[in-house]
């Protein structure tokens, strides 16, 4: 008897059957070793780092002033809506892939691809930004012990020339150089890559230790810094708006919203939690818990730190690269600079670790579905049980970009991809509730129509208020993603196989 094959669905809106996710979980070669608090620690590890140790200075000095705390509240609220939606999805589909995987089973392949493509932008540019920031703090650490490495060895070519010119103008003798590389940023990426290739258990253990150091340091900053708060520095709390030559508004409420979009970079840790579902012991219950817990803990800490910093130092005098260390130095607590600098180095290391970890799991999910080459992105090491080829690939790209690119060229790109993905998830979980009302949902988002609507509006509003050049780059990245999808991914998708 002749067997008729089911015709191939060629629509770009085709969806991955939810039954296929259960099969993926059964076939997974990843080790399930992460507990509830291990997942929460990973989330905190990704959230506490660049936001507190780097972005607070930029956001307060240039955009929000003392109202930086309000910017964190706005960003935290937008994240909360998305986190509640993420939690329901994570309880239904506890697989690696995060927002990409959730969208593939609900909205359709093209939307899922675009979300996955933007998560690549989020994690790669985020890891690159953190690597460059790590190098800056490492250089500051060396200076504490009067070690001054050459400019051309600690900076990308553009930044190295700018620093050399500034030092020459100040009367220092700086030899000419034709080659420059940010060597610390390059090397730390490969250290993290080695840890990730070795295994998730080793990565999680390293992260847990660093998280303890970071949280203790942040609490120290809040408690010790509160004794040096001058409430005059909070006046005016919302500085008068100013418009620059490009038409961008700084300060005022519009400036605060722009700052919220900038510090949104700090919140992507809870997204990284959902990428680890394939390695969680009890993902249906523990991933939703870890998503919400890490977001609540970190939001409270961010608000308190921003109030303390802008109270210790007037916002227009905050350092752009090391605001926390500089604030304590300004009030005479120079010994605290050592502690904060060491914690920042450790903290940024763990952020980089979780971002690169999340990136490889996004690649793994997309490769399993045939949208990316399996031989590279889905290859699991026979001993370590990690996607080792993908990890090395990510490490190579991040290390090279970090070594030769100025931080201001990559730091803003992370938020655009994140905001787009969060808005899509809020819509997708609502759509799935309508289409599949009888699915088992160990966690249900409360008042979903309201939460999802607010999540979509809040995240798109923040995205709209990002800088113009950031939005243009996001559009270019999206067009490139469409080219890759139609040239490769659509043809190689598992959904092209009638037997799948």
Domain ranges for the chain: 32-236+244-494
Q: Which segments of the chain have a pLDDT < 70? A: 1-10, 22, 24-33, 46, 49-51, 94-98, 200-207, 265, 268-269, 272, 275-279, 321, 407-414, 498-500
pLDDT score recorded for residue 245? 78
Read off the pLDDT of residues 22-55 as tens digits, 9 standing for 90 and up. Answer: 676 666 666 666 778 878 877 777 677 666 777 7
The pLDDT value recorded for residue 205 is 67
pLDDT score recorded for residue 482: 94
Whether 378 and 364 have beta carbons less than 8 Å apart is answered as: yes
DSSP 381: P
Q: How many CB atoms lie within 10 A of CB 438?
A: 5
According to the model, what pLDDT value does residue 333 have? 87
CA distance 258 to 221: 26
Residue 68 CA, distance from chain mean position? 19
Residues 492 and 373: their CA atoms lie apart, in Å, by 9
Say whether 329 sits in a helix, a strand or coil: helix
CA distance 451 to 447: 6
Query: Distance between CA atoms of 67 and 255, rounded to whole angstroms?
Result: 9
Task: Count the alpha carbons within 13 Å of 70 in the hemisphere toward its beta carbon.
Answer: 17
Bridge partners for 280 per DSSP:
34
| Tokens of residue 407, six digits | 């931080």
| Cα 465 from Cα 408, distance rounded (Å) | 18
Q: What is the pLDDT of residue 210?
A: 75
- Residue 410 DSSP code: T
Which pLDDT score is estimated for 3? 46
Q: CA–CA separation, 187 vs 243, rounded Å?
A: 40
Q: Under DSSP, is residue 313 helix (H, G, I), strand (E, B) or coil?
A: coil
CATH number of the domain located at residue range(s) 32-236+244-494 in this protein: 1.20.1740.10
- Read off the pTM: 0.79
Q: Is the peptide bond before 372 cis (omega within 30 degrees of 0)?
A: no
**Torsion, CA 364, CA 369, CA 374, CA 377, rounded to 10:** -20
């Amino acid at each position: 008897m002749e067997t008729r094959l089911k015709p191939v669905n060629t629509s770009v809106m085709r969806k991955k059957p939810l039954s296929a996710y259960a099969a993926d979980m059964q076939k997974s070669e990843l080790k399930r070793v992460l507990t509830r608090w291990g997942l929460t620690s990973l989330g905190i590890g990704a959230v506490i780092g660049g936001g507190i140790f780097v972005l607070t200075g930029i956001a307060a000095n240039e955009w929000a002033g003392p109202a930086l705390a309000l910017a964190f509240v706005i960003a935290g609220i937008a994240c909360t809506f998305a986190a509640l939606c993420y939690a329901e999805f994570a309880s239904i589909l506890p697989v690696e892939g995060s927002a990409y995987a959730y969208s593939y089973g609900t909205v359709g392949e093209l939307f899922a691809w675009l979300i996955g493509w933007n998560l690549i932008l989020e994690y790669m540019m985020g890891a690159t930004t953190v690597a460059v920031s790590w190098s800056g703090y490492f250089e500051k650490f060396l200076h504490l012990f009067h070690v001054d490495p050459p400019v051309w060895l600690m900076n990308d070519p553009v930044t190295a020339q700018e620093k050399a010119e500034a030092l020459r103008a100040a009367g220092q003798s700086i030899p000419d150089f034709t080659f420059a590389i940010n060597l610390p940023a390059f090397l730390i990426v490969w250290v993290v890559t080695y840890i990730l290739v070795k295994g998730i258990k080793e990565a999680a253990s390293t992260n847990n230790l660093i998280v303890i150091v970071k949280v203790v340091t942040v609490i120290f900053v809040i408690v010790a810094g509160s004794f040096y708060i001058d409430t005059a520095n909070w006046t005016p709390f919302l500085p008068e708006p100013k418009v620059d030559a490009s038409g961008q508004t700084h300060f005022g409420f519009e400036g605060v919203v722009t700052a919220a979009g900038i510090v949104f970079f700090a919140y992507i840790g809870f997204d990284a939690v959902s990428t680890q579902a394939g390695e969680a012991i009890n993902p249906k219950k523990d991933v939703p818990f870890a998503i919400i817990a890490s977001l609540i803990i970190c939001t409270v800490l961010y608000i308190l730190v921003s109030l303390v910093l802008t109270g210790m130092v007037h916002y227009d005098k905050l350092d752009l690269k090391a605001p926390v260390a500089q604030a304590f130095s300004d009030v005479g607590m120079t010994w605290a600079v050592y502690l904060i600098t060491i914690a920042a180095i450790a903290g940024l290391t763990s952020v980089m670790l979780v971002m690169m970890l999340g990136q490889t799991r996004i690649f793994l999910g997309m490769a399993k579905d045939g949208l990316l080459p399996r031989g590279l992105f889905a290859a699991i090491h026979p001993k370590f049980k990690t996607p080792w080829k993908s990890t090395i690939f990510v490490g190579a790209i991040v290390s090279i970009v970090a070594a030769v690119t100025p931080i201001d060229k990559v730091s803003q790109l992370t938020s655009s991809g994140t905001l787009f993905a969060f808005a899509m998830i809020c819509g997708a979980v609502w759509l799935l509730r309508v289409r599949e009302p009888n699915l088992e949902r160990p966690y249900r988002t409360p008042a979903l129509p309201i939460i999802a609507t607010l999540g979509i509006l809040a995240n798109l509003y923040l995205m709209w208020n990002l800088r113009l050049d950031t939005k243009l780059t996001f559009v270019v990245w999206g067009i490139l993603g469409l080219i890759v999808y139609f040239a490769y991914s659509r043809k190689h998708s598992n959904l092209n196989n009638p037997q799948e």
